[in-house]
Amino acid sequence: MNAFGDRCLQHHVFHQKVFFLGHISPGLLRLDLHVFSRSDEDSTRNKLKDVESIIRIEDVDGSRLVLEFAEEIERMLGSKMKSVKRLADTAEDADLYHEFNSSLKFDYFNALLVNSMDEEGNFMELGGEFPLEENEHFNKLSVNTLMSDIQVPTNVYNKDPDILNGVYMSEALNDIFINNFQKDATLTWQYIQAATSPKDIVIVVDVSGSMKGLKMTIAKHTINTILDTLGENDFVNVIAYTDYVRYVEPCFKGTLVQADLDNREHFKQLVDEIHVKGEAKVKIAMKESFRILADARANGQGSLCNQAIMLITDGAMEDFQSVFEEFNWPDKKVRVFTYLIGRDMTFSENVKWIACNNKGFYTHVSTLADVQENVMEYLHVLSRPMVINHDHDIIWTEAYMDSVLFKSKAHSLLFMTSVAMPVFSKKKETLSHGILLGVVGTDIPLLEVMKLAPRYKLGAHGYAFLITNNGYILAHPDLRPLYNDGKKLKPKPNYNSVDLSEAEWEDAEDSLRTAMVKGETGTLALDVRATVDKGKRPLFLKNDYFYTTINETPFRTYCETDIDPQHRKFSQLHAVVRYLTGKEPDLECDEILLQQVLFDAVVTAPLEAYWSRLMLTAPGKFLTEVDKENIFTVDHFPIWYRLAAENKPGRFFFYVPYDDVNKGRNIFVAVTSVTVTEGKRTAVAG
């Protein structure tokens, strides 16, 4: 996570929500006076006058505010990294003191078998009774926070000695999982994944006539599996060759493209269309691949890190040694990994020679079942320098979507990111080989991160957003990653690779995007056109953007009930009451927000009778749960509130809401804002 920005639009201290509702009789434009009264707005203004003596108006300093937000996010992610570091240290020590036992007998909970029974009603082996309880913290999923289980791939024998020894060794992590959760109850899932540094990859596939049939099916699966190992910090291209070179995507000729989700899926579609013909000439394919990688190095493009060629073929028959002498020796800046496809071993020595003499790895892939395991070997080879040096680099994954949150109101905040750290073997006999045991990590919902930049501090039209070091949006109110497929919500194909320029399109010269990607701190003013009411109404605004970098990246709502395990049983309202009455002084609360909520309650007290009467007389309920556009949420200010803030205080703005909720209700809305004054300064109070 690299950059953080917000835009603040007004000197705003208090947010009073003054809402007036009226009816439109069929064919008429008139106010139903039994519902609407100007005196209610006067009551609020008079009440504000009564409390003006204790009001202090402060200017919102966007530059200071964005730095404060960034510091809080850094502290939050810092606590996550400490938890991951404890896991990594424990895992390495557990491996160091574990002696491999080929005859080890050990039972564990297999995630695919827990709570499963056979036909006779007995728990299955490695299943057993595994208590699960619905947990609010895990989005109401059924979980167990005191025990862990192991997910073993279905094509792996679950009692293999390597599996049993690995599981037995990792038992030491259970106490750390529990201890971490007690220290930071906002932690969620733990996971393991492969770890390498950023890389440039050219995938070269033989499409000569000898590759027809099952061989080409295996080759295509191998390419797709390699693509699945890449992330947005990697760069890639795919070349098919016979006696000439053909880029599977001609638009990407001679270059490397970012391995984001869009490009990976695009390559997969093109690879599926490959047909075989002709005679293979591996030499020309190698020349083209070396040229692409050399150009990337020379021009400062690509990942600026590891470079590799992945050669997929059923054999190399020609004189090919000279191409490596010319383009890769003696420095061997490019590793070459070779995948011999099919059961024929006639040319295996040639294919093995290419890999072994270019710091790569040779793999024989004879069936589709061999692909997954054999492809993964290249990750271990690329990670060896990091392992031997014991570089415990923190790894941030690209944003991904949590399907559990699909029903959330905040569709722009569905993403997760994960922070991870590699785990190495510290045994003396393995140090020179560079053994990567795995990666430990935890998930972080971006919804929780954005709670540290609360909307109430930014004004009616202000908002905060996050982007990656590649300029992709992590969180932004205009990000809409889902679409309706019939009655189902589904993620868009490029949901996690939407560039900032697509949301902040007024930044025509990419000045804001460029500064944020470079990790700079600063400000920028832009004239923008914003829309409200689902694009039906434009607003012309002058926005001040404030941005900074997040070098490391705590959750807080009204009151944080997750910090102390004893507080987790409190609801938000219960926590607030206990904090204000002094019964729970140790609760971590947003005191500024609490003060504003209490201020709102005092000022709007005269309207309580009016609102109660309105609920009884208006057709339908007032601000029902389905009337989402009129309710404040984590990433949304209602249209009536935003329109009131943009118009002259005391002057009413009338509009007719037209949507599925209000259709046929003959309703119009009248809104106005009220102000408070301190000395010579005046500010909108709501």
pLDDT of residue 155: 57
Q: At what angle do helices 62-96 and 161-170 cross, to 10 degrees?
A: 120
Q: Measuring CA to CA, which residue among 491, 492, 482, 398 is closest to residue 446?
A: 398
Least reliable range by pLDDT among 67-76, 481-490, 594-603: 594-603
Cβ pair 383, 407 in contact under 8 A: no
**pLDDT higher than 90, residue 517:** no
Cβ pair 316, 285 in contact under 8 A: no
pLDDT of residue 47: 61
**Collapsing DSSP states into helix, strand and coil, what is residue 536?**
coil
Q: Fold for domain 199-367? A: Rossmann fold (3.40.50)
396 HSE (CA, 13 A, CB side) = 23
Cβ pair 190, 181 in contact under 8 A: no
Residue 228 token pair: 């699945």
**pLDDT higher than 60, residue 559:** no
Say which residue the tokens 């909970």 belong to.
109
Q: Measuring CA to CA, which residue among 320, 263, 260 is closest to residue 290?
A: 320
**Collapsing DSSP states into helix, strand and coil, what is residue 272?**
coil
ω into residue 445 within 30 of 0, thus cis? no
| Partners of residue 540 on adjacent β-strands | 529
SS3 content of the chain, % helix, strand, coil (to 5): 35, 20, 45
Least reliable range by pLDDT among 317-331, 407-421, 642-656: 407-421
Could you tell me where the DSSP H helices lie in 173-304? 173-183, 214-228, 261-271, 282-298
Query: Residue 197: pLDDT band by 50, 70, 90 thresholds?
Result: low
pLDDT in tens, 178-193: 888 888 867 887 775 5
Q: What does 448-485 look like in DSSP terms, one character per residue?
A: HHHTTS-GGGT-SS-EEEEE-TTSBEEE-TT---EEEE
The residue extents of the domains of the chain are 23-54+590-685, 80-195+406-447, 199-367
pLDDT of residue 573: 67
Q: H or E element: which one contains 89?
A: helix 62-96
Residue 682: partners with Cβ closer than 8 Å, 6 or more residues away:
57, 675, 676
Q: What does 587-637 look like in DSSP terms, one character per residue?
A: SEE-HHHHHHHHHHHHHTGGGHHHHHHHHHHSSS-TT-TT-GGGS-BTTB-
pLDDT in tens, 65-105: 888 888 888 888 888 888 899 998 999 899 899 998 999 98
Cβ pair 16, 686 in contact under 8 A: yes
Query: Residue 238: pLDDT band by 50, 70, 90 thresholds?
Result: very high
**Collapsing DSSP states into helix, strand and coil, what is residue 132?**
coil
